[in-house]
């Protein structure tokens, strides 16, 4: 390009001198211009096909327009790529910007070079929102969190108002969104929402990205956050990795925060004037508006959340397992000296060698499993009976196992055959122990006293012991040994214990 535009008169002189055979430098000295300027005019004249003398009738304006034609629009010279399509394709596994540029150049050999495409694509992306600029691979990430707003639900019977939480899950590549209301952010609701979200999407991603919610993350940490054991078990069941968002890293959560904002704006705000009387009613309303939200066209990209999900993301999701995850709660428990652990008020046995050991307990709605260093050591059917024991014979030490066949019911029935006082004493003896099995040995010893002293003396001793409030084998054996069963009592009160005593289970307990 010329460093300085010459006048038309000097342009004519350049053409005349060049036609006469003068060199570039000589013409430059003659016209007091730079050689580069003179050379540029000579080349322009050759390109335009203009020589000396000038064509007859050519005006100065025509000469200048032919030497300096207006530049062609860049779109005519080099067609631009479809950057919206680039954005969509980059979400597919293995697709890179370099690959897309190669495909673009194959279709348009005269197209832009790779560096120019990268620069213009970044400029195009900057016009999008921060969430749309993030390029997530299809089927890779699911972002989950709770909305900041709650929804009121009125009890139709009492008029009590409860606040429901709103769970939101957003797929990274397609922005396809799931939302539902639950009563709380507790672990059972948190896990249940994940199960229903996976069912809604019809598949599972590679990674789930939660915020550092207590139900999902036991201890937040930038590099190695601790995942709740139940949440980790859910992840193992579905074959996903749980990678919590980093603390104070807003871009890690931008996708779900934008999804939460959309749910609040297009669903919760639309429902603000409605009154709901059940969680089911609220979720039906949410699901209807959620369908509309996913069908809304994107503003700056082609298609909608649903179309993007159906064409891009759904095929990339992994298949759901044959059975949905069953909620299980994990707890740390310590084995008592009687080789039982207490869970929700009920006592379950473990091998007696594990007494005083800490175990991991896994509780479902129907089962209780106990683990020691990752190995299952006991499994029981879950019981809702408070204060009762579930004991397996193989968990007992040999000395206890010998008495395992003697159940409380059997011993009480034996005592009742010997006499009402004996039956009542055996019942009271077993009742006085924290666990019925602990009274079996003593009760068996009491009944065997009949061999040494006879049924009648044992019956009399038992009645005397009940009257005096004695509740042990030793006290009864001492009475028989010293013949106290044959002596009259000064206090001839009732010989049986009251059946409605607060600390007694009653004979019906064992039947």
Query: Residue 400: its pLDDT value, please?
Result: 65
Exposed, middle or buried, 348 (CB in 10 Å: 0-12/13-18/19+)?
Answer: buried
* Stretch 216-244: mean pLDDT: 72
Helix (H) or strand (E) holding 40: helix 35-48
Distances (CA, A) of 302 to 62, 85, 299, 392: 47, 8, 8, 64
Convert 371-407 to b/e letters by CB count within 10 Å (16 or more is b). ebeeeebbebebbeeeeebbbeeebbeeebeeeeebe
* Stretch 391-401: mean pLDDT: 79
| The 3-state secondary structure of 223-274, one letter per residue | CCCEECHHHHHHHHHHCCEECCCCCCCHHHHHHHHHHHHHHHHHHHCCCCCC
Could you list the beta-strand ranges (E) of 100-233: 141-146, 151-154, 161-171, 177-182, 207-210, 217-219, 226-227
What is the tens place of the pLDDT at every residue in 418-462? 999 999 999 998 888 776 666 777 888 899 899 999 999 999 999
**Residue listed under structure tokens 């005397």:** 464
Distance CA 5, CA 367 (A): 92
pLDDT band, residue 226 (cuts 50/70/90): low
What is the separation, in whole angstroms, between the first and last Cα of the chain?
A: 109
Mean pLDDT of the chain: 81
Query: Residue 7: its pLDDT value, please?
Result: 79
pLDDT of 4 > 90? The answer is no
Exposed, middle or buried, 77 (CB in 10 Å: 0-12/13-18/19+)?
Answer: exposed
Ramachandran class of 239: left when φ > 0, alpha when ψ lies in -120 to 50, beta otherwise = left
pLDDT of 496 > 60? The answer is no
Q: Which CATH architecture has domain 8-67?
A: Orthogonal Bundle (1.10)
Distances (CA, A) of 325 to 167, 198, 207, 380: 18, 11, 17, 20
- Residue extents of the structural domains in the chain: 8-67, 75-127, 141-316, 329-399, 403-510
Token readout for 156 is 């139709």
Query: Residue 275: its pLDDT value, please?
Result: 92
Q: Are strands 151-154 and 161-171 parallel, antiparallel or unpaired?
A: antiparallel
Query: Residue 131: its pLDDT value, please?
Result: 47
Distance CA 317, CA 10 (A): 72
**Closest among 286, 327, 323, 290 to 182, alpha carbons compared:** 286
Distances (CA, A) of 308 to 277, 314, 456: 35, 9, 89
Q: Is 493 helix (H, G, I), strand (E, B) or coil?
A: coil
Query: Residue 2: its pLDDT value, please?
Result: 43
**Closest among 138, 140, 163 to 151, alpha carbons compared:** 163
Instruction: Out of 1-5, 34-38, 49-53, 434-438, pick the least confident.
Output: 1-5
Query: Residue 66: its pLDDT value, please?
Result: 81
Query: Residue 220: its pLDDT value, please?
Result: 47
- Residue bearing the bigger pLDDT, 372 or 258: 372
Query: Residue 86: its pLDDT value, please?
Result: 73
pTM as predicted: 0.53
What is the tens place of the pLDDT at every residue in 289-306? 999 999 988 776 778 889
Query: Residue 435: its pLDDT value, please?
Result: 67
pLDDT of 383 > 60? The answer is yes
What is the tens place of the pLDDT at every residue in 84-140? 777 767 766 667 777 777 777 777 777 888 888 787 777 777 766 544 445 578 888
Query: Residue 375: its pLDDT value, please?
Result: 92
**Residue listed under structure tokens 């005519």:** 76
Helix (H) or strand (E) holding 333: strand 329-334
Q: Which CATH number is 141-316's, of 1.20.1260.10, 3.90.740.10, 3.30.420.10, 3.40.50.300? A: 3.30.420.10
- Residue bearing the bigger pLDDT, 30 or 467: 467
- Highest average pLDDT, of 1-10, 15-24, 134-143, 371-380, comes from 371-380
Around 10, how many Cα atoms within 13 Å sit in the side-chain half-sphere?
Answer: 15
Query: Residue 282: its pLDDT value, please?
Result: 94
CATH fold match for the domains 8-67 and 141-316:
no
pLDDT band, residue 76 (cuts 50/70/90): very low
Distance CA 496, CA 112 (A): 104
Query: Residue 405: its pLDDT value, please?
Result: 63
| The 3-state secondary structure of 449-478, one letter per residue | HHHHHCHHHHHHHHHHHHHHCCCCHHHHHH
pLDDT of 71 > 80? The answer is no
What is the tens place of the pLDDT at every residue in 278-292? 999 999 999 999 999
Residues recorded for the chain: 511
pLDDT band, residue 8 (cuts 50/70/90): confident
């Amino acid at each position: 390009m010329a460093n300085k535009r010459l006048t038309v008169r000097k342009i004519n002189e350049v053409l005349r001198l060049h036609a006469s055979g003068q060199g570039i430098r000589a013409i430059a000295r003659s016209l007091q211009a730079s050689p580069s300027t003179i050379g540029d005019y000579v080349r322009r004249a050759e390109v335009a096909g203009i020589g000396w003398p000038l064509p007859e009738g050519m005006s100065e304006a025509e000469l200048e327009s032919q030497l300096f034609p207006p530049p062609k629009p860049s779109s005519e010279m080099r067609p631009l790529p479809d950057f919206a399509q680039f954005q969509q394709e980059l979400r597919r596994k293995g697709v890179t910007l370099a690959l897309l540029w190669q495909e673009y150049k194959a279709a348009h050999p005269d197209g832009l070079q790779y560096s120019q495409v990268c620069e213009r694509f970044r400029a195009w992306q900057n016009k999008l929102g921060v969430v749309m600029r993030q390029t997530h691979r299809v089927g890779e990430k699911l972002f989950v969190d709770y909305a900041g707003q709650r929804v009121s639900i009125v009890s139709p019977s009492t008029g009590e108002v409860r606040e429901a939480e709103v769970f939101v899950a957003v797929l990274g590549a397609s922005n396809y969104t799931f939302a539902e209301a639950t009563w709380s952010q507790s672990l059972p609701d948190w896990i249940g929402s994940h199960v229903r979200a996976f069912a809604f999407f019809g598949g599972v991603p590679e990674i789930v990205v939660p915020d550092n919610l207590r139900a999902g993350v036991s201890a937040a940490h930038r590099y190695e956050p601790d995942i709740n054991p139940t949440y980790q078990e859910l992840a193992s069941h579905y074959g996903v990795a749980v990678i919590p968002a980093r603390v104070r890293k807003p871009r890690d959560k931008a996708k779900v925060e934008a999804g939460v904002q959309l749910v609040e704006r297009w669903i919760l705000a639309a429902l603000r004037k409605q009154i709901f009387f059940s969680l089911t009613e609220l979720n039906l309303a949410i699901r209807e508006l959620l369908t509309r939200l996913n069908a809304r066209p994107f503003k700056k990209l082609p298609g909608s959340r649903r179309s993007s999900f159906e064409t891009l993301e759904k095929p990339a999701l992994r298949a759901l397992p044959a059975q949905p995850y069953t909620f299980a709660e994990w707890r740390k428990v310590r084995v008592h000296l009687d080789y039982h652990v207490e869970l929700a008020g009920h006592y379950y046995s473990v091998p007696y060698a594990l007494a005083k050991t800490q175990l991991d307990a896994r509780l479902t709605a129907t089962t209780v499993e106990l683990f020691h260093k990752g190995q299952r050591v006991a499994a029981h059917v879950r019981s809702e009976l408070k204060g009762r024991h579930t004991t397996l014979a193989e968990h007992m030490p040999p000395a206890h196992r010998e008495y395992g066949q003697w159940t409380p019911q059997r011993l009480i029935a034996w005592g009742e055959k010997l006499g009402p006082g004996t039956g009542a004493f055996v019942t009271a003896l077993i009742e006085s122990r924290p666990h019925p099995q602990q009274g079996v040995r003593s009760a068996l010893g009491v009944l065997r006293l009949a061999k040494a002293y006879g049924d009648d003396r044992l019956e009399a001793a038992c009645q005397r012991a009940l009257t005096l409030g004695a509740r042990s084998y030793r006290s009864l054996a001492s009475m028989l040994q010293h013949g106290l069963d044959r002596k009259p009592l000064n206090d001839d009160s009732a010989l049986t214990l009251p059946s409605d005593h607060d600390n007694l289970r009653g004979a019906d307990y064992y039947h």
